[in-house]
């Protein structure tokens, strides 16, 4: 069967699974099977794709990390640490809306796949004080975690884009900085419309700082271990979990309470359906890679003779959305597009920055993106209720990037 028919059939299967409200991981596995069967993969190759999608260092790390993140979130909630984080932050920032935004934004500095599951309980705890519905909390968690990724120099896909293009990462950051600023500003007023905080602004209280540091100590430990020592992420998470179990122990019977926490807080935090999400996404990604349908799709659009600026707005977005992996998307589209762009100077950099932004936008809204799917599972909301509010935000950011790129082209 032609690649375009096979890809279309796979997408239809995924859409049906979403409509039927199946687990996203199971839905992605169904889409992978459909793609493999329709494209005509031999049975042995089919099994190899599934095996390589599941049994590789990235998938293993992700599955272990997601399970540990679930435990960490449960422990923070059960020990009262989440409530303390919000209360102590309110001693510094009065506006609970800013706190709700700050949770996913701060966790975004920890640029690991599926990290939104770590910010989700924090965002939910803060958002519940505003009486935000779960679907709005889910959108806030996704948007403010990822809007920084248009220009965050710590994000692996931006580093990869810089390496592939030969453009200094600082120049790409400066070009996309306006997109992040616009995204944060518009996102704040759009997503919190109709919800007002009783208190606004800042009310710094010095005695709240040590209390805040204590409440976020497990998260700070994870951040330091990952960023400063480059420790394997699951090991950092294990360290954070142990510290979270030790935090806020009563003055008496500390050992007994610690043992009790281990017995009562570990197993409830393990979310097997969430691990299935990662497995399904990784199998689907591997199937897309092995069948090369993404390369075929990109070549098709490039061959239509459409202006490059229009192609940049469409193809990277589609590739990012289909793969759910921004690094994989960048690795595919940058080598294909670079020969088509105006050579050298600021115009070349502007086009590359927009190329990256378009891929990132598709990545943000993709059900194959771990953060998207894990957030959906955590808040137990329908995909359409996440996508619908994200679309206008992405449209504004993409339109801004389009205009900035055109201005550089005219100049």
- Asked whether residue 337 is domain-assigned, the answer is yes
> Which of helix, strand or coil describes residue 361?
helix
Tokens for 177, please give them: 């900085």
Q: Does 128 lie in the same domain as 169?
A: no
Half-sphere exposure of 147 (CA within 13 A, CB side): 29
pLDDT at residue 69, rounded to an integer:
80
Low-confidence ranges of the chain (pLDDT < 50): 411
Q: Does 261 lie in the same domain as 176?
A: no
- Asked whether residue 321 is domain-assigned, the answer is yes
- Asked whether residue 298 is domain-assigned, the answer is yes
pLDDT at residue 319, rounded to an integer:
87
> Which of 400, 361, 390 has its CA nearest to residue 141?
390
Question: Cα–Cα distance between 25 and 45 in angstroms, integer?
Answer: 21
Q: What is the pLDDT of residues 151-178, one digit of tens each?
A: 887 677 887 788 888 888 888 989 999 9
Q: Does 221 lie in the same domain as 197?
A: no
Give the burial class of 287: count Cβ atoms within 10 A of its Cβ; 0-12 exposed, 13-18 middle, 19 or more buried.
Answer: buried
Q: Does 302 lie in the same domain as 261?
A: no
For the stretch 291-324, what's the b/e string if a residue is b when 16 or more beta carbons lie within 10 angstroms of its beta carbon?
bebbbebbeebeeeeeebeebbbebbbbbbbbbb
Secondary structure tally for the chain: helices H, strands E: 21, 0
Question: Is residue 73 within 8 Å of 121, Cβ to Cβ?
Answer: yes
Q: Which residues pair with 202 in a beta bridge?
A: 93
> Which of helix, strand or coil describes residue 369?
coil
State phi, psi for 151 to the nearest 5 degrees.
-140, 10
Structural domains counted in the chain: 2
Q: Does 306 lie in the same domain as 381?
A: yes
pLDDT at residue 244, rounded to an integer:
93
Q: Does 130 lie in the same domain as 214?
A: yes
- Asked whether residue 218 is domain-assigned, the answer is yes
Q: Does 210 lie in the same domain as 186?
A: no
Q: Does 211 lie in the same domain as 122?
A: yes
> Which of 147, 175, 145, 149 has its CA nearest to residue 160?
149
Question: Cα–Cα distance between 352 and 408 in angstroms, integer?
Answer: 12
- Asked whether residue 138 is domain-assigned, the answer is yes
- Asked whether residue 128 is domain-assigned, the answer is yes
Q: Does 251 lie in the same domain as 143?
A: yes
SS3 content of the chain, % helix, strand, coil (to 5): 80, 0, 20
Question: Is residue 289 within 8 Å of 280, Cβ to Cβ?
Answer: no
pLDDT at residue 204, rounded to an integer:
60
Q: Does 155 lie in the same domain as 144?
A: no
- Asked whether residue 173 is domain-assigned, the answer is yes
pLDDT at residue 200, rounded to an integer:
59
> Which of helix, strand or coil describes residue 93?
strand
Q: Does 192 lie in the same domain as 211?
A: no
Q: Classify residue 110 as left (phi > 0), alpha (psi -120 to 50) or beta.
A: beta
Distances (CA, A) of 368 to 25, 31, 98, 107, 360: 9, 11, 29, 20, 13
Q: Does 348 lie in the same domain as 213?
A: no
pLDDT at residue 261, rounded to an integer:
92
Task: DSSP letter for 344, please.
Answer: S
What residue numbers bound the domain in which 232 lies?
Answer: 59-150+204-271
- Asked whether residue 18 is domain-assigned, the answer is no
DSSP 176-205: HHHHHHHHHHHHHHHHTTT---SS-SB---
């Amino acid at each position: 069967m032609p690649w375009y028919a096979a890809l279309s059939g796979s997408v239809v299967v995924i859409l049906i699974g979403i409509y039927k409200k199946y687990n996203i991981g199971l839905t992605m596995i169904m889409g992978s099977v459909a793609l493999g069967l329709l494209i005509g993969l031999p049975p042995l190759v089919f099994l190899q794709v599934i095996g390589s999608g599941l049994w590789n260092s990235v998938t293993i790390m992700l599955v272990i990390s997601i399970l540990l993140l679930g435990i960490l979130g449960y422990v923070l909630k059960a020990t009262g640490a989440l409530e303390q984080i919000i209360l102590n932050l309110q001693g510094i920032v009065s506006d609970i809306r800013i706190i709700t935004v700050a949770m996913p934004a701060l966790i975004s500095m920890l640029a690991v796949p599926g990290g939104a599951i770590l910010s989700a309980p924090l965002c939910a705890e803060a958002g519940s004080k505003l009486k935000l519905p779960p679907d709005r909390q889910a959108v806030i968690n996704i948007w403010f975690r990822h809007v920084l990724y248009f220009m965050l120099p710590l994000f692996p896909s931006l580093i990869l884009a810089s390496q592939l293009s030969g453009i200094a990462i600082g120049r790409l950051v400066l070009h996309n900085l306006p997109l992040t600023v616009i995204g944060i500003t518009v996102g704040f007023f759009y997503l919190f419309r109709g919800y007002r905080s009783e208190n606004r602004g800042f009310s710094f209280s010095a005695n709240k700082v040590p209390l805040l540091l204590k409440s976020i100590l497990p998260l700070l430990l994870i951040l330091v271990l990952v960023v400063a020592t480059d420790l394997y992420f699951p090991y950092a998470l294990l360290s954070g979990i142990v510290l979270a179990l030790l935090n806020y122990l009563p003055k008496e019977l500390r050992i007994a309470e610690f043992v009790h926490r281990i017995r009562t807080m570990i197993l409830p935090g393990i979310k097997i359906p969430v691990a299935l999400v990662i497995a399904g996404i990784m199998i689907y990604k591997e199937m897309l890679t092995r069948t090369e349908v993404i390369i075929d799709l990109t070549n098709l659009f490039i061959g239509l003779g459409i202006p490059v600026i229009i192609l940049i707005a469409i193809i990277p977005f589609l590739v990012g959305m289909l793969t759910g992996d921004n690094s994989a998307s960048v690795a595919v589209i940058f080598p294909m597009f670079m020969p088509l762009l105006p050579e050298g100077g600021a115009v070349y950099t502007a086009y590359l920055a927009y190329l990256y932004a378009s891929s990132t936008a598709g990545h943000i809204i993709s059900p194959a993106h771990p953060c998207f799917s894990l957030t959906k599972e955590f808040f137990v909301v329908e995909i359409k209720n996440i996508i619908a509010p994200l679309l206008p935000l992405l449209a504004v950011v993409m339109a801004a990037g389009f205009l900035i790129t055109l201005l550089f082209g005219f100049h």
